[in-house]
Structure 1
Amino acid sequence: MKLVELTAYLESIAPLSYQEDYDNSGLIVGNGNQEITQGLISLDCTEAVVDEAIRTGCQIVISHHPIVFKGLKKFNGKTYVERVVEKAIRHNIALYAIHTNLDNVMDGVNARICQTLELKNSRILSAKSGILKKLVTYAPVSHAEAVRNALFKAGAGHIGNYSECSFNAEGKGTFKGEEGTDPYVGEVGHRHTESEVRIETIYPAYLESKILMGLFLSHPYEEVAYDLYMLTNQHQEVGSGMVGELETPLSETDFLRHLKEKMNAAVVRHTALTGKMVKKVAVCGGSGGFLLKQAIAAGADVFVTADYKYHEFFDAEGKIVIADIGHFESEQFTQHLLYEIIQKKFSNFAVRLTEINTNPIKYFI
């Protein structure tokens, strides 16, 4: 298949607009029209991983972390980033990253951590705002249902676990077609009054062009009246971290053992134990220290994340147990998540997990 078929599908699950401002997710090296038959999945895109792709005949490396975060000004092989990009280009291997956009979706990286830790009733810890919009349009009563159906098919009208959500109010619309027009109803040069339905529905901003195309193709009028509004509402299915509950509460010590075993962690760095039972657990793959206040506000007993600095541990202040399991350890199962996502859609596309442990941190035990 063409590379663009794979990337378009991945971006339908984790839209690029959901990534953080500092990130560089998406197609880093490669051409969308490139033919691909097999791919390699890895948490990181290192030189050894690209060598593995060459050796196994893979035309694309799909990694969680982007190899390039900032613009490259020189390609002289002095850094590992330059060497990886150069080698990928020389061997016609595409490099694709799906990073914080996969972190921020409901069934992404943090959901896989919750599943691994056997947490129930999981939800987004810190929902994002400013990514929802509202469409208001007016259609003749005779075509209102067709317009609604087209908008829903394009992806509008989803609120939580509800779909095809809209508000509708009937009223009277007026218009007069001037010279050169071909109105669907009424006569040129005469004001016409038509019974219409005001249709309101919400949609994620990244779907706007698809939503508008559905509107224009389903609407009978030559000129379609519509308004677009940016909403400040939080999108409850998009955001950072997650919080869930253990089916059976555990002591803090037993939970730390459970955490270490399930996440294959060599060591768990943690703050002082509070003596409480652990029921609610907040998680964030990678560097999640910025979510500590939200974890406490959510009533979490433990916050599982990575990359905590010495002085940041003091911020727990006895309100919560911070458990740092390491960056690689917190996100390692992302590789399996990507494998399942791709295999489910493209059963004939050969995809494999890297055999290389890309964790740059080693432990002397």
Structure 2
Amino acid sequence: MKMTKISEIYDYIDSLAPFRTQDSWDNAGLLTGSMGGSVTKALVALDAKMPVIEEAKKLGCELIVTHHPVIFNPLRCINEDVEAGRLVKYSIACICAHTNLDSAEYGISDMMADALGMKNLHIPLEINRTDPETGRRLGYGTTAECESMSPERLAALCKERFGCVGIRYVPGRKNIRKVGMVSGAGGEFISAAEALGLDALITAEVKHHQFIEAERTGITLIDAGHFETEVIAAGYLWEKLSSRFDGTEFILSEVGSAVR
């Protein structure tokens, strides 16, 4: 059986979500390890946090593939008490596909729309950059259509489909047909949702004053949780990588959110 190189896995992820398209402030890519390394087992997760790293070591994985970058803010030291240092200690590589996956042709917000069984219109809530090679306009979020439902029904559907422990929302003033979705933190997109004439916005990490803005505009605003709206990306990457590489076993992490 042919051994898979880290560079091959990186290149395949790059074909799904080009790393060149990541936002200017982002740090997606191969963040620990070597492109020349070989991989027999790889763990796929949302975050390369300590429990995930220990899970990878226990399973004998040489690589972790995540959505969130394991190195994001500047580090003053790299020791085994921080995630990057622990990865180096265990000789585990880490590839992170962050805003390049958010803004991919099939991005995480699109995955949310599919999980909810909605008709995806593929209209971003924000355009903020361009692919330097193809000229494709890039941004965040997507819009979708659904059968008419109450705000309460949409909130219940999100809780069911995303596996939320709990959910916070402000119910709007009318039934819902057009929905905006922004995976992860996206409360600031309430104005964009209003401008697009949407009835609801599903996102996470919504601030107090963003809920007040939604109440004023009459739009249903649902905070379904950062982990819950983005862990779907780990399942997507696991499925894609598993079907692509016969020489590597890809394992979906069993580590969940610590938030209760």
Taking structure 2 as the reference length, the TM-score comes to 0.92
Candidates 11, 15, 27, aligned match of 1:24: 27
Q: Does the alignment pair 1:59 with 2:62?
A: yes
Candidates 337, 344, 351, aligned match of 2:250: 351
Q: Does the alignment pair 1:265 with 2:129?
A: no
Aligned equivalents of 1:76, 1:54: Cα separation in 2: 17
Aligned equivalents of 1:112, 1:360: Cα separation in 2: 23
1:102 is displaced (CA, Å) by 0.4
Classify 1:360/1:124 alpha carbon distance in 2 versus 1 (closer, same or farther; 3 Å): farther
Partner of 2:238: 339
Which secondary structure does the structure 2 equivalent of 1:96 belong to?
strand
**Does the 8 Å CA contact 2:22/2:98 hold for their aligned counterparts?**
yes
1:347 is displaced (CA, Å) by 3.5
Partner of 2:217: 318
Which secondary structure does the structure 2 equivalent of 1:265 belong to?
coil
Partner of 1:44: 47
Q: Does the alignment pair 1:293 with 2:220?
A: no
Aligned equivalents of 2:20, 2:246: Cα separation in 1: 27
Alignment of 1:85-100 (within 5 A): 85-100=84-99
Instruction: Give the structure with the higher percent strand.
Output: 1
Partner of 1:244: 144
Classify 1:130/1:56 alpha carbon distance in 2 versus 1 (closer, same or farther; 3 Å): closer
**Does the 8 Å CA contact 1:125/1:295 hold for their aligned counterparts?**
no
Classify 1:37/1:76 alpha carbon distance in 2 versus 1 (closer, same or farther; 3 Å): closer
Partner of 1:280: 178
**Does the 8 Å CA contact 2:172/2:218 hold for their aligned counterparts?**
no
Aligned equivalents of 1:85, 1:129: Cα separation in 2: 30
Classify 1:54/1:76 alpha carbon distance in 2 versus 1 (closer, same or farther; 3 Å): closer
1:277 is displaced (CA, Å) by 1.5
Structure 2 residue identity aligned to 1:102: L
Aligned equivalents of 1:26, 1:47: Cα separation in 2: 19
**Does the 8 Å CA contact 1:106/1:124 hold for their aligned counterparts?**
no
Aligned equivalents of 1:241, 1:9: Cα separation in 2: 23
Identity over aligned pairs, percent: 29
1:206 is displaced (CA, Å) by 3.6
Which secondary structure does the structure 2 equivalent of 1:239 belong to?
strand
1:290 is displaced (CA, Å) by 2.5
RMSD: 1.8
Aligned length: 256
1:128 is displaced (CA, Å) by 3.2
Query: For residues 289-345 of structure 1, what are the alpha-carbon distances to aligned partners after superposition, in whole Å with 9 as ceiling and x for unaligned?
Result: 232222122221110000011122111113311101111111121111111221232
Q: Does the alignment pair 1:360 with 2:239?
A: no
Classify 1:311/1:344 alpha carbon distance in 2 versus 1 (closer, same or farther; 3 Å): same
Aligned equivalents of 1:298, 1:106: Cα separation in 2: 20
Partner of 2:132: 205
Classify 1:128/1:311 alpha carbon distance in 2 versus 1 (closer, same or farther; 3 Å): closer
Aligned equivalents of 2:149, 2:198: Cα separation in 1: 13
Classify 1:49/1:121 alpha carbon distance in 2 versus 1 (closer, same or farther; 3 Å): closer
Structure 2 residue identity aligned to 1:300: L
Partner of 1:152: none
Unaligned 5+ runs, structure 2: none
Aligned equivalents of 1:288, 1:99: Cα separation in 2: 15
Classify 1:129/1:68 alpha carbon distance in 2 versus 1 (closer, same or farther; 3 Å): closer
Aligned equivalents of 1:329, 1:304: Cα separation in 2: 11
Structure 2 residue identity aligned to 1:19: Q
**Does the 8 Å CA contact 1:245/1:281 hold for their aligned counterparts?**
yes
Structure 1 residue identity aligned to 2:227: F
The structure whose Rg is larger is: 1
Aligned equivalents of 1:107, 1:6: Cα separation in 2: 18
Which secondary structure does the structure 2 equivalent of 1:270 belong to?
strand
Aligned equivalents of 2:153, 2:230: Cα separation in 1: 22
Which secondary structure does the structure 1 equivalent of 2:159 belong to?
helix
1:127 is displaced (CA, Å) by 5.1
Aligned equivalents of 2:181, 2:171: Cα separation in 1: 18
